[in-house]
Each structure stands twice: as C-alpha cells, then as structure tokens.
Structure 1
Amino acid sequence: MNDENTTTTDALAAEGVSIWLDDLSRERIRSGGLNTLIAERGVVGITTNPTIFAAAVSKGTAYDEQIAALAGTSATADDVVFALTTADVAAACDILRPVYDRTGGYDGWVSIEVGAASAHDAAATVAEAQHLSAAIGRPNAFIKIPATVEGLDAIAETIGAGISVNVTLIFSLDRYRGVIDAYLTGLERAAAAGIDLTGIRSVASFFVSRVDTEVDRRLDAIGTEEARALRSQAGVANARLAYEVFEEAFASDRARRLLDQDANPQRPLWASTGVKDPALPDTFYVVELVAPGVVNTMPEKTLDAVFDHAVLRGDTVSGTAGAAREHLDALAALGISYDDVTATLEDEGVAKFVASGEELTATIATALQASRRGATTR
C-alpha cells in the first residue's frame, strides 16, 4: 500500500524499477513535456526507435526548420534522418543529465538505434555505433544494437571500445546468455585496453508482450480448455526466467572479476510492455515484472495507467523461476516449441526493425522533397 503522499510510480521506483519512457519527439522536448514526466511521473530514461521518430516527424511542424535548412544542401534522406534523430537524442540527454549525474550513471539514459540495414552485419553495426556516439557526444547516450547472432560480435566490440550499449530484440534465454557473454567479453577487452570500466553501461532489452502474442496465437489454434488456461502467461514467465539468468550470470567468477574492477552489471530491461490483449489489465506487464535493478520502458499510455491505478504487490519476480519453468514445460507438452516461438519472434523483430527504418527514411524523403519544391517556387 502507498501512503497518500506517495505516487504509484514513486512506489515502483522504491521497489528498484527504473521507469523509462518509450517515446521521444522534438515537440515533447520543446514543450517541456519531457521535463514534466521526469518531475511528476518518475521518468529516468528514454528509449526510441525509427517508428517513434517517423511518427514525430509526420506530426506538427517542429522539424520543419531543420529539414528546410538541410533541403538547401546536398543532404540525402539518410543524412537528414541522422541529423534529426541525433539532435533530438542529444537534447534529451541534456535534459536527463541531472538524473545521470545524481544516480552516478545508473539512470538518465537515452537510447538510439543503429540503422536497420546493419542488423546482420557486425562491422557495419560497429561503425555506425561509433558514428552515432561521436555525433551525439553525450556520456548518457545508449546505442541500441539488435541481439542477432551477428549483433553479438558487434556488442562485444562496441563495449570494448568504451561505448555504452542497449541490446535490443532479445526473446530467448539462450540468446540472452549470449548477450551477457558479449557484454562481459567487451568489458574484458576494454579493461585490457586501459579503458575505465566505470563509464561503460549496458541494458539488455527483453521483449515481453510480443511473446504472449505469438504463444497465444498458437494456443488459440489448439483451442482446448487446457490451452486457453495457459494464455497470457508466457511473456511474464520468460522474463522471470531471464531475471534468474541475470542473477546467476553476474554472480559468476568471471563477472565478479570485472565488477571488482568497478564494472557495472548489464541490467535487464523489460521492453514491449504495452498490453496488446484487451482482456489483460493495462498495467499487467509492469505489475507482474517488479524486481530490484530492472528497467521497464513504457509507452506513455502504459505509464499513465500505472500512475493512475496500478496496484503493486512488491517484488513479483524473485523466487518465481520454478513456476515460470513449469509454465514453459506445459506449453511444450501441448506441442508449442519455445525455440520456434523465439526464433519466429526474432525474425519478425528484425523485419519490423528494417521496415520501421525504411518508414522513417521514406517519411523524411517526402518532407525533404516538399521543402525543396517549396523553395523553388518562392
């Protein structure tokens, strides 16, 4: 229970959950809306993606001036995407810098993704991560790298260069173990190169609601009462098992050696926490995934719901691995393959990643052409 002076988001933070907003726009920055969410909703970080930026550019006029200026140059649509998104992320980093400083770098981060075309190209991913990091020039900018097989090598190399990484599109526990290994490998390389490990941070973004969407689709196809009873539980079970992996990995001798050199653990981040099934409570993927040391990145609609009416029950993750494992076993007994589900979701995730990048580029190309046409008629 919260006392009358404590908001639900305050109580969530007190349980050890960092609240990050899964949204960013220039209008939100300029209007002071982001500052309000930090002050009143307990937001201590931001994640972005190309779809978010495409929506921001297509609404309102906040980007018109910069697009018009770039339209007068030889800039391509890709150049403009880079300029607009890095400018927004740098501005958001500045707004969140007091949080970063107050928490010693634990929170106060803003994430930006590498380009979609790099998802299966480690060398291109590393080059773009370095380009983005240099352009933003802020210590509290996370570079998002997808957890593809090729991405693992890119993560290790990027961390080894001292660049902080938000690893995105994680669905399976085995891939998550690979992500942790890549992070530790990167830290070992950074240490060997004489880079101060205290400034290197990482989060591992484990997607939640998408798991339920795919598993529930398969359960509905089975259609039995037993199958229906298992709906809307796989995403939370998977995330709870991921937390067990996190705890075990960072208690290992290998991790301890790095932590003793003032390295930071790679924190689990719950992504895709907006409810897609209207039968579920709109705070479901927040309330059911409360644990110390995690991040929950929420769309504003979910954040508002949590603030307004979430009923917290304390830590809902620790000690739940056994039951979570039993749930996945029950799915397997019905013929639902965990490996196939997570492989499908990764393939779909990368495809959506590519599509959203193309959407953003197309949106910018249209705006750029319109600005150039307007300039020729004046």
Structure 2
Amino acid sequence: MLRRGPEFDRGCWRLGRARGRGSGAESGNWRMRGPMNGQNAGPRASRWKTSSTLDEQEARNTFQIKWPENYQGVAPLMGQPEVLGSYSVDEDRKFLHDESQLDFIDMEYLPVDGEKKVHMDLNKGMDKFIDFSGGTDDSFRSLLQWILSNECILKTHKSSSKLDADFISVRKTFSKIMGTPYCIRDTWTLSATEFKGSIYMKMYTEVENVENHEVDPQVKKLSLYGHKFEHFMKGGKPEENVVANEEYRCVLRMKVDQISLIHASKLDFADPEQFEEDFKDLNGFIMVSCAKEVKTPFSMKSYKKFKLNQWWIRGILSGIPRCVIGYRNDDGIVHTLKLLKTDEIPMMAEDEWKPNVCINFFVSFLNFVKSKVREDPTAVHRFHRKPKGNIHWSKLPSSSHMTLLPSWFTEQLFSSKDTKNDCE
C-alpha cells in the first residue's frame, strides 16, 4: 500500500470560488468559540437534495454534503493538541515502543529567510528503494498496541474503565473528513464502533477498497519522490537506501468544541535547535512535503485550493507550526525550498477555502457518526462516501465487530492486573 504521493489529490474536484459572506476577518476566527451557522446557504445550495426530497428512512441514514457556504459562521474552539506519548514503526512495519525512528531535519535545508535554492535529484538511488508496504490496517493496529500499554494515562480517572476520548483513530481519518467539503470527488469508507465509551474509527480510501489493485506507474513514481525528498531533508545522500516503511508517530489528544479526540500522527522531523526531551506539544517539529512547481494560473488555483488546505489540516490537527515544501519540476529535480507557517496558510489560500468551513463540517459529521453508532454500540457502522455524493450510513452484522477491533485488544483493555497496579 502506497502512502499518498506528493502530487495533487486527483480525487478533488475543482470547485468554483465560494460565494458566501464568510471571508475576510470571519475566516480567520476558526479558533474562536461560537455557534455553528449552517443556515446561510449560498445561491447554489438549492442544487443539492434536501431531506424533504429524500425518502424519510434514507434521510435519517444520510449525511448530506452541501456546498461550503452551508458551513460558514464562526467555528467552534479547536484546542491545542497535547502529546500523550510516541512510538516507532520499523522497516518491517513492526511496532516499537521507543523513539528509534525519530529523525531531525538537516539545518542546511531549513530556509532562514523563508526560501532557499537547492538541487535535489529525486531520481537518484531509486534502484535501492524499499517501497512502502503498510496501510490503514497496520497503522490502526499500531495505535491499538500503544493504547494497551498506556491505558493509565488515557483514562478519565485512575479507577475508570473508560478512555478520555470520544473518538479514536489515526490522523489520516480526521484529515480526510476535514477536507471533504472541498474534495467532493473523493471516495472513502469509514468503519466505526463503540467500545467502553469511545468510538474507534478506521478509514479506507478508494484504492484500499479495491483488492489486487494495480498502481499507476506515474502515481507510484510521485510517491517515491515524496519519500526520496524526506531522505534528502534529513541529510541523506542521493545514493543511499531509502526505507519508506519506517515511521515515528505521536499520540495526541485534543478537543474540538466539546468533542475529545485521540489520534496517532506521523511526524516528519524535529528541529534540533528547538526539540526538547519529554515534549508536551509539537512546536519543535516540522512537516515536510514535495509538490510540483506552480507555473500556470490553473495550477496556482489548484495549489491554493487543495495543497494548502491539505497542509493546513495536517498542521492544525498535529499542532505543528511550520512546514518546509520542496518544489520539483517535471524531471523530479527540486530547485526551491519554502518555509510556510501553519497559521498563515489560510491567508495564502486567498479564499479558495476557509478554515471555519472545514471545522464546522468536521464537528457536524462527527456528531452524525456519534448519533448513528450509539443507536447500536455493539455493531460496526459503515459510512460510505461516493464521488459528488452524500455520505451513506449502514450497519454491518455483529460478526463484523472483530474486523475493526481485534480480540487481543478488547480482551486486554482494562483487564491487566499489572496495568491496574501501575495506575494506583
């Protein structure tokens, strides 16, 4: 399974500019507490089906994806993520409860004045490349392994049998949901179930839903470019081996309004000048990404609407304040590095998307998931999103429960005597 490559998300449809009135100062208020306003629909909102035109049963089981204008208004408070712990994944995708995969950025590639000229040939050393073989299942499994070893710090209180989280997943799940209002051709399937008061979620993209799929060679090459770029950014040599399977992840807890989230976030690099042991936030970390050079007005519009939105969502969910972007040409040569600040990215987008829309949609959908899952907490619930369509809910047979939460997790959580003693 390949991780997302550095190219634009091809599942995103090029929507026109939103016509709602929530631009300017309002769009910058996504950290302020306030009521969600989903009533001020733009002139195009009438093109979507409403509950009155749907069958009553279908309406109850459908989350309608409306135009972004429907999610205008001041967004609920989005709290700063708190670091709970970390773990590593080695080249064989084996879970390690340590910091062995923690990497530091090479300060030579950290632009001091916001931009730096370089020459990185991403094609070199491809014959030694060890491709990424992981996917949603093993990433989710690693998070569950970490939770079992750290249930004490996750509980609402020492004697509790409930984790202090409404939703638990990996960052990719939450990122996909937040970007949905602007990527209406995306296809994904979300599975969710409740266990001991928390809702566990696992998301599959369209490619992951297709067995024995063949990856487009061009898409694969772009993904390899992304891993090779990361190799350069930590000071790796062009001819050295690149191992895409290795990861370092932090487990974070945050709140969006009154909803508490726990997620595992993949980290790229720490800043050696700002990194501190026993860190409680990710201010000392840096995201990196590789993108194609922007040369035309059309590609600039796409860059602002999709790439900037993607980077902002990753940064805001992780609490990482900076990212370094490498801009490559068609031949895979990176000539320019730019330093972007997460909080300034929405202004760079110039109203192609709005933070408050992403957050309001996110909260609205999570509340929908919670309402459906708690109708039958013992079942696995499926939320399927079709291209240019709504999100449809269905309930899987009870026998499917173990396909989401394995028995080794459900049988061991809150049952270990050693762990209980450690909590006291």
Q: Give the TM bin, normalised by the shorter chain.
A: under 0.3
Determine which structure has the larger strand proportion and give its number.
2
Higher RCO (C-alpha under 8 Å, 6+ residues apart): 2
Determine which structure has the larger helix proportion and give its number.
1
TM-score (norm 1): 0.28
